[in-house]
Structure 1
């Protein structure tokens, strides 16, 4: 029974995945425009962030749309297809659950933030749209 359920959801992802990605591309929000110095500061701060995600996960799409809206060049790591990123997510965050934002500080410590709502709230608070 478990294999039937997995096959059903795998088929569903295969069929709906391209539709979701097309919708994401067609509904991309316009990014915030900052002055060049402020955007450079934001870009530097984003180097300490990484989003672990699955390409067709609706919650990951929601976070990516917010990243575009806030003009944040955060590195995106595919934890579904890339085993190295999947292993890093499991070892660092403790679970293979996406979306997950890895927040590194200057001392090399990392905080792993799960849940799309929490990630979006963090990004909005740290990088206000002005």
Structure 2
């Protein structure tokens, strides 16, 4: 399985690098406001996962700065995802609410729809 996954993963990363979307241009003040509104978000992901790439591309296209947590490089992130989120599926968006509750959002399309509300209309 590794012999299939590794080259496909590298191809996905290469194509993502070549055809990377552009972030919208904003003033420093506008970007600071957007960053403040997304400071409570973390994306648990794997670099070569196609659905994670799709989600990261949307994050870049929206011009959002969201903490990326690689569950393979950081075992504590993987353990937190399993313990608190309930499963080891990526991508997963951790949403920390003001009342200290946490929501774990798993599907890439649902994550992208949720993140779209943080991208101000220019």
Identify the structure with bigger relative contact order (alpha carbons < 8 Å, sequence gap 6+): 2
2:23 aligns to what SS in structure 1?
A: coil
Q: How many Å apart are 1:29 and its aligned residue?
A: 0.7
1:77 aligned residue: 69
Q: List structure 1 runs of 4+ shifted beyond 3 angstroms.
A: none
The 2-side partners of 1:128 and 1:79 are apart by: 30
- Structure of greater Rg: 1
* Contact 1:20–1:56, Cα closer than 8 Å, also in 2: yes
The 2-side partners of 1:67 and 1:115 are apart by: 14
1:34 aligned residue: 26
**Which of 15, 22, 40 lines up with 2:14 in the alignment?**
22
2:117 aligns to what SS in structure 1?
A: helix
Q: Report the structure, 1 or 2, having the larger helix content.
A: 1
1:118 aligns to what SS in structure 2?
A: helix
Q: How many Å apart are 1:69 and its aligned residue?
A: 0.5
Q: How many residues get paired?
A: 122
Q: TM-score scaled by structure 2?
A: 0.92
Unpaired stretches in structure 2, ≥5 consecutive residues: none
2:47 aligned residue: 55
1:123 aligned residue: 115
Unpaired stretches in structure 1, ≥5 consecutive residues: 1-7
1:126 aligns to what SS in structure 2?
A: coil
Q: TM-score scaled by structure 1?
A: 0.87
